[in-house]
Structure 1
Amino acid sequence: MVETVMAATLPPAPDWASLIHSGCRVFVGGTASVPYQLVQHLIDHGRGFSDIEMVHMLALGDTRWAQEGYRNRFKVNTFFIGGNEVRRAVDEGRADYTPCFLSEMSGLFSDGTLPIDAALVNLSPPDEFGYCSLGAGVDIGMSAVRQAKKVIAQFNQFVPRTAGHSYIHISEVDACIEADEPLVELPTQSIDSVTERIGQYVAMLVEDGATLQFGIGKIPSATLKYLQNHRDLGIHSEMLTDSIIGLLEAGAISNKKKTFHPGKMVTSFAIGTQRLYTLIDNNPHIEFYPSSYVSKPTNIAKNDNMIAINSALEVDLTGQVVADSLGYDFYSGMGGQVDFVSGASMSKGGKPIIALPSTAKNESISRIRPCITEGSGVVTSRGNVHYVVTEYGIASLKGKSIRERALELIRVAHPKFRGELLNEVRQHYWVPHYQEKYPTDIPELGAIQLKKLNIQGETFYMRPLNPADERRLQEFFYSHTKETLRLRYNYDPKQMSREKSCNLVSVDQKSDAALCIVRQEGSRITIHAVGRFYYAPAANACEVAFVTRETQQGKGMATRLLRQLIDIARSRQIATMMAYVRAENTPMIAIFEQAGFRRVLSDDPTDVELVLKLEHVK
């Protein structure tokens, strides 16, 4: 049936002289669905043309039109630079890069900013009704087709038929060729240990029932790997990759909690292997729409609990994100990052996340920078960023001052650059003179310094106390009753200055140890318990102490902190742990005694001294 319709109704082969002319603007369908044979047909049969502007988004594979040999015939203007001939042409000044938000690219065609004379697209063969699908590359291709004066198609049996708004009728096609060639495959990259840790941290920010957006690369792949035990996740993303297959197989994706297109996975293009292209073919659960719809921030925000996961090349200590350039060299494009960061920011319960490795070039360069590298451009502003994640943790930036942002970001920088970064920002008075110590990790906690806790049905996190907690610790102090302060400090302190708070959170975690249990609601972090020990080298002993927020007492937080501190002290081969507790503080005494501490004689009857011989702890 399909073959009969095709034979009867296919448009003629391209007569290029009647379709385009020198100096015109031609759109080329991109991503994994470039019509290579159609472009080759233009090259072979369109001799005599010059200065044709070839406009496209990311184009994978053999972008032969950007080669040096065609510089007089074609001039490339790309919205996104790929790692092929296009990047070389941009680097050599033979091609242009036009920065634009993904949601707004189509508008350049429709409002006359970049009028399209012809659109070259890869289509599935028409069905019995004459409808053809743009398949894996709806993105800005649909808009180009609607706005172009001429539409020239490559009918390709390998183009999947995708649900949603991906169809055009054969009557809209002015000329065509038939050429079957597989879509470009992009295998999933292997995940290294750094990427693995980033993925684990990002996954901690994702709750069951959230809707996800993600890009391509190792970090999204690692994140999705660690989401396989989640449930009722949804997808609203400008692109799909093979990484979603594992989530689907694990039963993590249902889309039923989505508040925009519930029950459906929504996207605009797909890049991956044949497994992915087979998955999207005639799949009614995965819908493709133009980028102007999928990446529109107000549409993104219609998804409650929208999680936008994007990467960057570098982030400065105020939170500015560089994503499309390395100094003066343009590297990729703006893509959908700003669209989804904005949409997730507006979403109820949404979380925009920037995830990147802390270093580049074999740990010789910090990606967390005092200021952005000369020549680089800001893609996402400091006001948009809520979270920055590296392999060293999660920096929460929303609502934070410049001082707080700098300290948060230094904490997730590579340890060997933290001192240098702190010295840089102190010169600009971004942090006060008394902020002298940079954050250190607790080696005994391992690669992931954050532990998720379920305490009586509520989610908390245990992690090292650090300089970025200065204000949080101050708030924690002022939340205490006089009785709690007296039992903890043995007197009634009236003030916790920022300077004193800074001193308490600026801990050398390789000798002493300080932990906190926090609850994170969006970007708001509240300290609910603190435990620490101070090491005395001469005696090879440490003194331990705790304080818990009154509303959380009796829930076992101090016990959890104590167990962790005992483990740390034992790993460091500390011989003895000591504690001094007010005699009337019987609940705290009980916690220590349950952990194996024994009372010893004390000169002060108002205090109880407790000692634990660590070599006896099993």
Structure 2
Amino acid sequence: MAQKTISLNWQQLLKSGSRIFIGSHAAVPTLLIDDLIANAKSLHDIEIVQLVTFSDNRWASPEFQHLFKVNTLFIGGHTIRQAVAEGRADYTPCFMTDIPALFTDGILPLDAALIMVSPADEHGYHSLGVAVDVISAAAKAAKIVIAQVNPAMPTTYGQSFIHKDDIDAFFYAEQALPEIEPPELDARTERIGQYVSLLVEDGATIQIGVGKICAAVTRYLSNHKDLGLHTELLTDGALDLIKKGVINNRRKTFHPGKSVTSFCMGTKRLYDFVDKNPHIGFYPSEYVNSPINIARNDRMVSINSAIEVDLTGQIVSDSIGHMFYSGVGGQVDFSRGASMSQGGKPIIALPSTAKNGTISRIVPHIKEGAGVVTTRAHVHYVVTEFGVASLRGKSIRERALELIRVAHPKFRNQLLAEVRKNYWVPHYQLQTPVDVPELGPVGFKELTFNGEKFDIRPLNPSDERRLQEFFYSHTKETLQMRYNSVPTQMSREKSCTLVSVDQSKDLALCIVKQKGSVVEIQAVGRYYLIPNENSCEVAFVTREVLQGRGMAKRLLAEMINIATSRGLNSMQAFVRSENKPMLKVFENAGFVRLKSDDPTEVYLKLTIPGKGEN
């Protein structure tokens, strides 16, 4: 480069007790800070305000505690985490969208901002490159700006420029940007990614972060169409989706045609991609993380993680008990923005256990000292490797049942027992095996009837109210045909009994119409095991307006497949003689009429191929 790197006169730029901001994420001016450390001389008690700094963070090590005191707004990396734990550094929790105002409103007035920029263009503008985030606000609010000019820094577009006249001191030094390689994925993480991807519709706009779960989500979004990107962090996973044409921003309703971000971290491939790329807009955090702006994207999906989730839906993500681990960041900003978006979905995704499966991350109550980052009212979905818990519009009791369902099976009974201590759960509410592995790896199948999409899945305890609604939708004729009588009540206790099925023995499947958090049962099929005959009794019922579409046929086909895989010899059914449509469904599936002692009822039996007669 033309300019020669020389040390700065820090005694002229700073004084003891100054508060300085240092560039964040992959835009840490490491060589500039090294120069400060090497030439600090008599300076001391300088407060460093920072976010995550993808660096060695040597300024936070014990040997420099008389020179620096760190105040981090998000904890990242072992060195910073240890400094906070030992009291050599402070942690200030705040929403990402609120941080710029801390600087501009003088709550955390800055004497200097130490930043890293690209070389100036012909008009004298330097780019903030791979991190605009809160650096933009810090540079505007600080009394002086000291910039490391780095030719390795990409030039990014959006609101990412600072003019040379707004920089008070220049330090010319080339520095390779730190790289993060995509993580290796295990089977559990992949399953979580698969479940999350199923919640993302074609045409949605997504926010996604860093880490194994987010990498798994991007992998399973590879067959989606016309996704948009509005995210604080751009990663290699998102880059892969852009390269494949999955993210094309065509259907975005805010900044259509452009991916919007605040900073990026990843490999050199990612940094090369954003360099002078007009299709990627880098904007400040107060703009990108504004819930109002986020909500301007229809079908906005926010995907974040957590350390633990309690059974009411409270999200802990910045601390493990009394130990502060990370920060508030943008999770609440994006959760709120997605919940305000038309068709939006705020999602929290996490493994069901920690410490090699010895601790449940779905907990009856949060640990002492832990803080709630995202409230129980913010999140619509919680995803683990055991499925998707839908929380929106659910009562505390219903939330508990949904979350227990996606907890690790070995903790489910314990969680139910614990929740009874503090919240009312009826005595008849039991925790039973709810998984039906035969439905495939995600536990349900997508179906299409007359062009409409439905899901077939197991009934589960949280379907209690839905089953009541399904029952009360039936006409007297349907009730007569299904129950051979006309029951007038489906009590809460009765409904609970019907959805608390040990799916490893008996079977209870349903076909549901689902749109976001709105779920309506359209058909139910069951079989009850007859152990002494190695057989089962089958029955099903379909909502009247959907009868004749083939739902009963599909339910019966699934039940036959499951019974076959479970080694049953036969299946049986008892149908009223005037119920011609149901008789036709059974007979088309291979059931044969046999002698019945009741002339009003037809007895049918299917001998499962290869099993022979009993």
For the aligned pair, the TM-score class normalised by the smaller chain equals: over 0.9
- After superposition, the C-alpha distances for 1:255-293 in whole angstroms (9 at most, x for unaligned) are 011111111000000011111111111000000000010
SS in 2 for 1:203: helix
Distance across 1 between alignment mates of 2:9 and 2:107: 27
Question: Superposed, which structure 2 residues align to 1:332-343 within 5 Å?
Answer: 332-343=326-337
- After superposition, the C-alpha distances for 1:137-173 in whole angstroms (9 at most, x for unaligned) are 1000000000010100111111110010000011111
User: Which of the numbers 461, 475, 480 marks the counterpart of 2:474?
Assistant: 480
Give the letter for the 1:162 counterpart: T
Give the letter for the 1:231 counterpart: K
User: Which of the numbers 224, 228, 232 marks the counterpart of 2:226?
Assistant: 232
| Structure 2 counterpart of 1:312 | 306
User: Which of the numbers 596, 600, 610 marks the counterpart of 1:606?
Assistant: 600
| Structure 1 counterpart of 2:138 | 144
Aligned residues: 612
Distance across 1 between alignment mates of 2:196 and 2:347: 8
Aligned residues: percent identity?
60
1:376 Cα offset (Å): 0.6
1:113 Cα offset (Å): 0.6
Question: Superposed, which structure 2 residues align to 1:421-570 within 5 Å?
Answer: 421-570=415-564
1:437 Cα offset (Å): 2.9
1:616 Cα offset (Å): 4.2
1:526 Cα offset (Å): 0.7
| Structure 2 counterpart of 1:294 | 288
1:443 Cα offset (Å): 3.3
Give the letter for the 2:478 counterpart: T
More divergent stretch after superposition (441-450 vs 237-246): 441-450
The answer on whether the counterparts of 2:6 and 2:172 sit within 8 Å (CA) in structure 1 is no
Q: Is 1:420 the counterpart of 2:414 in the alignment? A: yes
The answer on whether the counterparts of 1:12 and 1:175 sit within 8 Å (CA) in structure 2 is no
Distance across 2 between alignment mates of 1:549 and 1:245: 45
1:11 Cα offset (Å): 11
Give the letter for the 2:288 counterpart: V
User: Which of the numbers 21, 36, 58 marks the counterpart of 1:42?
Assistant: 36
Give the letter for the 1:475 counterpart: E
Distance across 1 between alignment mates of 2:6 and 2:107: 30
The answer on whether the counterparts of 1:411 and 1:438 sit within 8 Å (CA) in structure 2 is no
SS in 1 for 2:472: helix
| Structure 1 counterpart of 2:105 | 111
User: Which of the numbers 252, 261, 266 marks the counterpart of 2:246?
Assistant: 252
| Structure 2 counterpart of 1:156 | 150
| Structure 2 counterpart of 1:174 | 168
| Structure 2 counterpart of 1:218 | 212
The answer on whether the counterparts of 1:388 and 1:396 sit within 8 Å (CA) in structure 2 is yes
Question: Superposed, which structure 2 residues align to 1:335-374 within 5 Å?
Answer: 335-374=329-368
Distance across 2 between alignment mates of 1:288 and 1:121: 16
| Structure 1 counterpart of 2:323 | 329
1:439 Cα offset (Å): 4.6
1:309 Cα offset (Å): 0.5
| Structure 2 counterpart of 1:59 | 53
Distance across 2 between alignment mates of 1:610 and 1:245: 57
The answer on whether the counterparts of 1:212 and 1:234 sit within 8 Å (CA) in structure 2 is yes
- After superposition, the C-alpha distances for 1:334-391 in whole angstroms (9 at most, x for unaligned) are 1100000000010011010111111111111100000111111000000111111111
1:87 Cα offset (Å): 1.1
Give the letter for the 1:35 counterpart: P
1:14 Cα offset (Å): 2.7
Distance across 1 between alignment mates of 2:169 and 2:424: 62
The answer on whether the counterparts of 2:352 and 2:407 sit within 8 Å (CA) in structure 1 is yes
Q: Is 1:129 the counterpart of 2:123 in the alignment? A: yes
| Structure 2 counterpart of 1:595 | 589
Distance across 2 between alignment mates of 1:177 and 1:194: 46
Distance across 2 between alignment mates of 1:277 and 1:457: 43
| Structure 2 counterpart of 1:74 | 68
Question: Which runs of no fewer than 5 residues in structure 2 stay unpaired?
Answer: none
Question: Which runs of no fewer than 5 residues in structure 1 stay unpaired?
Answer: none
The answer on whether the counterparts of 2:439 and 2:445 sit within 8 Å (CA) in structure 1 is no
User: Which of the numbers 565, 570, 575 marks the counterpart of 2:569?
Assistant: 575
1:446 Cα offset (Å): 4.3
Give the letter for the 1:327 counterpart: G
SS in 2 for 1:615: coil
- After superposition, the C-alpha distances for 1:443-487 in whole angstroms (9 at most, x for unaligned) are 333431122222222221111111110000000000111111111
1:607 Cα offset (Å): 1.1
Aligned CA distance change for structure 1 residues 572 and 418 (closer, same or farther; 3 Å):
same
| Structure 2 counterpart of 1:165 | 159
Give the letter for the 2:514 counterpart: Q
- After superposition, the C-alpha distances for 1:156-204 in whole angstroms (9 at most, x for unaligned) are 1111100100000111111111111111101111111111111111111
CA RMSD of aligned residues (A): 1.5
Distance across 1 between alignment mates of 2:97 and 2:433: 39
| Structure 2 counterpart of 1:27 | 21
User: Which of the numbers 198, 201, 206 marks the counterpart of 2:195?
Assistant: 201
| Structure 2 counterpart of 1:185 | 179
Distance across 1 between alignment mates of 2:215 and 2:450: 32
Give the letter for the 1:105 counterpart: I
Question: Superposed, which structure 2 residues align to 1:388-407 within 5 Å?
Answer: 388-407=382-401
Q: TM-score, normalised by structure 1?
A: 0.97
Distance across 2 between alignment mates of 1:456 and 1:194: 35
Q: TM-score, normalised by structure 2?
A: 0.98
1:12 Cα offset (Å): 8.6
The answer on whether the counterparts of 1:13 and 1:176 sit within 8 Å (CA) in structure 2 is no
Distance across 2 between alignment mates of 1:427 and 1:486: 41
Distance across 2 between alignment mates of 1:249 and 1:42: 41
Distance across 2 between alignment mates of 1:64 and 1:47: 17
Aligned CA distance change for structure 1 residues 430 and 32 (closer, same or farther; 3 Å):
farther
The answer on whether the counterparts of 2:299 and 2:343 sit within 8 Å (CA) in structure 1 is yes
- After superposition, the C-alpha distances for 1:3-34 in whole angstroms (9 at most, x for unaligned) are 7xx76xx9996321111111110100010111
SS in 1 for 2:609: helix
SS in 2 for 1:349: coil
| Structure 2 counterpart of 1:263 | 257
Distance across 1 between alignment mates of 2:446 and 2:416: 29
1:102 Cα offset (Å): 0.4
Distance across 1 between alignment mates of 2:259 and 2:100: 22
More divergent stretch after superposition (279-288 vs 552-561): 552-561
The answer on whether the counterparts of 1:62 and 1:84 sit within 8 Å (CA) in structure 2 is no
- After superposition, the C-alpha distances for 1:214-266 in whole angstroms (9 at most, x for unaligned) are 11111111111111111110000001110012212321111011111111000
1:521 Cα offset (Å): 1.5
The answer on whether the counterparts of 1:61 and 1:84 sit within 8 Å (CA) in structure 2 is no
Aligned CA distance change for structure 1 residues 339 and 378 (closer, same or farther; 3 Å):
same
The answer on whether the counterparts of 2:360 and 2:408 sit within 8 Å (CA) in structure 1 is yes
